[in-house]
């Protein structure tokens, strides 16, 4: 077994103070924090294992923890975006490979809110709650440089994982493009029906059946034509909506007008829920536990809503020892 390198397994962060009844949203980038705590570079393109979290608060509150979706859609979207970014850089540096930065890395924002806040708002670890956070190094998020037309102007787009492209805003004045929406827009659509069968398949009865091969085996009163009709008209559409597919229960010809990938612009837009907890007056010691799990790209969103008095929260995050430079995580390219 490969020797596990020493690495810091637990750390504390402190959120900003939230007003009673209002939501304060904070973001955590585990690769950035691991790089700071261990003084060595961890790429963002890792699927991080988190053992669990402890939330510290003496004020009643609700807390939602969210993350990038654990779906093939997110995995493939990240992979295709990463390959596109690599190709863009390689073609630009084809004659000048020596200028490649040592810490070049494909870094993305979790969603539009994360992009709007910028990397400077990421929560960073402290030795004690309320203490001084670690001084960050450079942690620049990636962007695509997209020409308007051959020989024309270019646009710079930073990258968000979920939601719609071009959400506006952004600390740097740049818009952003969504990995999931970009992936959805670059893929071919499936057949509307599967299997896409002829109407005549159900005509296997009577004196002049079109589907005479099936009719050969009719034995007097036979239910094959009814069964085949059910096979033709039921369960032939996907159990999820996609562009140009019929809207269930709507008049014929009413179709979805856009591709609806989960966590993209039109279907369950945004991040995936990881856990939802409440802190009440009966919470022992003001400590609430959040379950562990896998966090793609190490990106975590915390939504904190105090219900009675303004307050902030402290969060202890416990990672898992493993063979990837001290941590249990795997490259996103292998998800």
If DSSP codes are grouped into helix, strand and coil, which group holds residue 197? coil
Same domain, 51 and 102: yes
**Residue of 59, 26, 32 whose CA lies nearest to 45:** 32
For 93, 160, 297, 316, the CA distances from 116, given in Å and listed in that order, are 30, 10, 18, 25
Q: How far is it, in rounded angstroms, from Cα 163 to Cα 112?
A: 7
Domain that includes residue 29, residue range: 10-188+262-334
CB 133 within 8 A of CB 12: no
Asked if residue 317 and residue 171 are part of one domain, the reply reads yes
Q: Is 101 inside a domain boundary?
A: yes
Instruction: Tell whether 119 and 205 lie within a shared domain.
Output: no
Structure tokens at 288: 């609430």
* Token digits of residue 33: 């924090």
Say yes or no: 215 and 312 in one domain.
no
Consecutive 10-residue runs of the chain (335 residues): their mean pLDDT?
Answer: 87 94 96 96 97 92 96 94 92 79 93 93 91 92 82 83 85 79 82 63 62 57 61 67 71 74 83 92 79 97 93 95 95 77
pLDDT value of position 99 = 76
Dist CA 59 CA 223 (whole Å)? 67
Q: Is 23 in contact with 303 (CB distance < 8 Å)?
A: yes
Q: Are residues 208 and 63 in the same domain?
A: no
61 Cβ partners below 8 Å, 6+ apart?
18, 278, 279, 304, 305, 306, 307, 311, 313
Count of the separate structural domains present in the chain:
2
**146 and 40 belong to one structural domain:** yes
Do 180 and 272 have their domain in common?
A: yes
Task: Report the alpha-carbon distance of residue 211 to residue 202 in Å, rounded.
Answer: 7
Query: Do both 143 and 208 map to the same domain?
Result: no
Please report which helix (H) or strand (E) contains residue 180, including its range. Answer: helix 179-185
Residue 243 lies in a domain: no
User: Looking at the domain assignment, is residue 307 inside a domain?
Assistant: yes
122 lies in the same domain as 228: no
Structure tokens at 294: 């896998």
Sorted by sequence, the CB contacts under 8 Å of residue 21 that are 6+ apart come out as 305, 306, 307
pLDDT of residue 173: 60
Does residue 245 form part of some domain? Answer: no
Asked whether residue 34 is domain-assigned, the answer is yes
Neighbouring residues of 175: CB distance < 8 A, sequence distance ≥ 6 = 155, 157, 158, 165, 166, 167, 168
Could you tell me if residue 76 is inside a domain?
A: yes
Domain shared by 109 and 161, yes or no:
yes
CA distances from 268 to 162, 185, 263 (A): 10, 17, 5
Q: Are residues 86 and 127 in the same domain?
A: yes
Neighbours of 264 (CB within 10 A): 28
154-160/175-178 β-pairing: parallel
Cβ(163)–Cβ(111) below 8 Å: yes
pLDDT attached to residue 4: 87
Pairwise CA distance, residues 100 & 113, whole Å: 30
Q: Same domain, yes or no, for 34 and 103?
A: yes
254 belongs to a structural domain: no
At residue 162, the 3 state secondary structure works out as coil
44's CB contacts (< 8 A; 6+ apart) are 29, 31, 32, 105, 106, 107, 108, 297, 298
Residue 325 lies in a domain: yes
The four Cα atoms 46, 296, 279, 312 give a dihedral, to 10 degrees, of 60
């Amino acid at each position: 077994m490969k020797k596990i390198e020493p690495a810091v397994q637990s750390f504390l962060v402190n959120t900003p103070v939230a007003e009673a009844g209002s939501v304060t949203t904070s973001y955590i980038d585990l690769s950035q924090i691991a790089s700071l705590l261990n003084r060595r570079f961890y790429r963002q393109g890792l699927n991080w294992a988190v053992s669990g979290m402890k939330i510290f608060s003496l004020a009643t509150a609700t807390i939602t923890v969210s993350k990038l979706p654990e779906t093939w859609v997110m995995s493939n979207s990240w992979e295709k975006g990463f390959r596109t970014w690599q190709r863009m850089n390689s073609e630009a540096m084809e004659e000048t490979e020596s200028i490649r930065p040592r810490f070049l890395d494909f870094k993305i924002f979790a969603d539009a809110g994360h992009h709007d806040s910028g990397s400077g708002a990421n929560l960073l670890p402290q030795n004690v709650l309320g203490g001084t956070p670690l001084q960050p190094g450079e942690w620049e998020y990636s962007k695509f440089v997209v020409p308007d037309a051959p020989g024309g102007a270019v646009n710079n787009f930073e990258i968000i994982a979920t939601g719609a492209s071009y959400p506006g805003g952004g600390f740097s004045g740049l818009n952003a493009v969504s990995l999931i929406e970009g992936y959805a827009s670059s893929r071919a659509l499936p057949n509307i029906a599967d299997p896409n069968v002829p109407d005549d398949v159900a005509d296997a009865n009577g004196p002049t059946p079109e589907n005479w091969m099936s009719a050969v085996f009719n034995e007097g009163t036979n239910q094959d034509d009814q069964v085949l009709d059910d096979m033709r008209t039921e369960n032939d559409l996907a159990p999820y909506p996609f562009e140009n597919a019929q809207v269930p229960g709507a008049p014929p010809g009413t179709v979805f007008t856009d591709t609806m990938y989960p966590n993209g612009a039109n279907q369950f837009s945004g991040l995936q829920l990881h856990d939802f907890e409440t802190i009440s007056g009966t919470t022992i010691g003001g400590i609430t536990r959040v379950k562990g799990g896998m966090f793609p790209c190490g990106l975590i969103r915390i939504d904190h809503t105090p219900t009675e008095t303004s307050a902030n929260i402290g969060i202890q995050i416990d990672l898992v020892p493993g063979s990837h430079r001290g941590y249990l995580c795997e490259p996103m390219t292998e998800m």
